[in-house]
Structure 1
Amino acid sequence: MSDGLDQLGYRQQATRTAFHAYTGIAKMIGRCKTTLWADTYGEDPNPYELELQAVDSCQPDDILICAAGGSNRSGIWGELLSTAARNSGCVGVIAHGSVRDIEKTREMKFPVFATGKNPYDSLNRQKVIEVDVVVEIDGVKFRPGDLVLADEDGIVVVPQEVETQAIEAALKKVSAENITRDAIKNGMKATEAYLKYGVL
């Protein structure tokens, strides 16, 4: 998909930051449901308000995006939020920050990609400050409703306006790569295969 977006001139759609699939499920695909987080340092009378609103308003096939700037101030996502999000139809979480309750969430088989882990509660440490807005992680814009794919290689966001073209380009690339791989397996040199099929 990243290669397909490259071909369309969308060359900043994949993260370079290392995300870890903490619950052991290393693939997910869905639609961006975005949250913007900030570190906090004082007593907050409504600490979980927007966080809960975001979780409860998830739609089927949403992936909840937690744009927390890579902060390790607390574990912003855990078992209870995973349970509530799944009940709303959410299919996974991408946290540019830390998570907790990993064993329990793993038992749920709920996909969680994050950049760290931390046992601290987010209370008076971090909070959601905006929901359903464009957020940025590692130079990549995540917009509400955009298609997002995550696996062991990284995270790719497909803007809605080129989604159909990007999928078509990706499928063509996969087909060409399969042909090229088979040719190389059957003894063709890599240079010859590239010259013949134009794919690497």
Structure 2
Amino acid sequence: MNIISQFEMIPTTCISDVMQGLNNLDSQIKPLKENDRVAGRAFTVKMPVGDNLVFLKALKEAPPGSVLVVDAKGDTYRAIAGDFLVGVAQMLGIKGIVAHGVIRDIEGIRKLNIPVFCLGTTVAASGKAGMGEINVPVSCGGVTVHPGDMIVGDADGVVVVPQMREQEILQKALEKLQMDLDRAKRVSSREEALRYLENVLNK
């Protein structure tokens, strides 16, 4: 099983815990469909407020399987894209979109089979003046994201795993997940729950 498939199986909460919560995107960035989750390598987009031509360039150049990470400066007035461009992303094999910004045409996007994580929705479209950069380090939701970093998102939010540390973090996250599962098995009655609380409080 490759590393992306392994990260797909781990809750963002486990990954966050082993990184001490330091690489979590802004908690307002959530999936448009609650059950959506994504894991993949970042293809970054630095987008000026209200100008999404660079987003189209990213769609053309991002390798299939990429997660587009869009630094839209947290703008909530103009959308980075609507259902047509998100549909194009899906057709081109983009695995997901994570944006520190908003989208529009939410009903249409929810019918597509591509996870979108963002700050919410708007009605206003972006212009196309042509500024912006792709495949450069960006700041998205308060976290620095480099091209190739591992992006993992689920109902709780989005975490960024630096590529240079991904093997170490994967191993620690798998161990944390197993600990959580073991604890849930042990604490399965009222008495065990009280005993667990006493042990934690008396440390």
Q: What TM-score do the two structures reach when normalised by structure 2?
A: 0.82
Aligned to 1:44: none
CA distance in 2 between counterparts of 1:107 and 1:92 reads 14
Aligned to 2:164: 161
Aligned to 1:77: 81
1:33 counterpart (43, 56, 60): 43
Aligned to 1:2: 16
Measured after TM superposition, the shift of residue 60 of structure 1 is 2.2
Question: Does the Cα contact within 8 Å between 2:31 and 2:118 map onto a contact in 1?
Answer: yes
Measured after TM superposition, the shift of residue 185 of structure 1 is 1.0
The number of residue pairs the alignment matches comes to: 185
Q: What TM-score do the two structures reach when normalised by structure 1?
A: 0.83
1:145 counterpart (142, 148, 154): 148
Change (3 A) 1:18 1:49: closer
Would you say 1:114 and 2:128 are equivalent positions?
no
2:119 alignment partner, SS class: strand
Q: Deviations over 1:149-196 (max 9, x none)?
A: 11121110000111011010000011111111111114422246659x
Measured after TM superposition, the shift of residue 111 of structure 1 is 1.1
CA distance in 2 between counterparts of 1:192 and 1:61 reads 47
Aligned to 1:135: 138
Q: Deviations over 1:90-138 (max 9, x none)?
A: 11111111101111111112211110211111016x8651111111123
CA distance in 2 between counterparts of 1:83 and 1:120 reads 18
2:187 alignment partner, SS class: helix
CA distance in 2 between counterparts of 1:151 and 1:38 reads 27
1:22 counterpart (20, 28, 32): 32
Structure 1 runs (4+) deviating above 4 angstroms are: 192-195
Gaps of 5+ in 1: 41-46
2:72 alignment partner, SS class: strand
Measured after TM superposition, the shift of residue 72 of structure 1 is 1.5
CA distance in 1 between counterparts of 2:22 and 2:79 reads 28
Question: Does the Cα contact within 8 Å between 2:75 and 2:100 map onto a contact in 1?
Answer: yes
CA distance in 1 between counterparts of 2:26 and 2:42 reads 18
The aligned amino acid for 2:16 is S
CA distance in 1 between counterparts of 2:199 and 2:95 reads 39
CA distance in 2 between counterparts of 1:176 and 1:77 reads 40
Question: Does the Cα contact within 8 Å between 1:25 and 1:111 map onto a contact in 2?
Answer: no
The aligned amino acid for 1:157 is V
1:170 counterpart (173, 177, 183): 173
Question: Does the Cα contact within 8 Å between 2:30 and 2:157 map onto a contact in 1?
Answer: no
2:18 alignment partner, SS class: helix
Question: Does the Cα contact within 8 Å between 1:4 and 1:167 map onto a contact in 2?
Answer: no
1:32 alignment partner, SS class: strand
Would you say 1:180 and 2:183 are equivalent positions?
yes
Question: Does the Cα contact within 8 Å between 1:23 and 1:102 map onto a contact in 2?
Answer: no
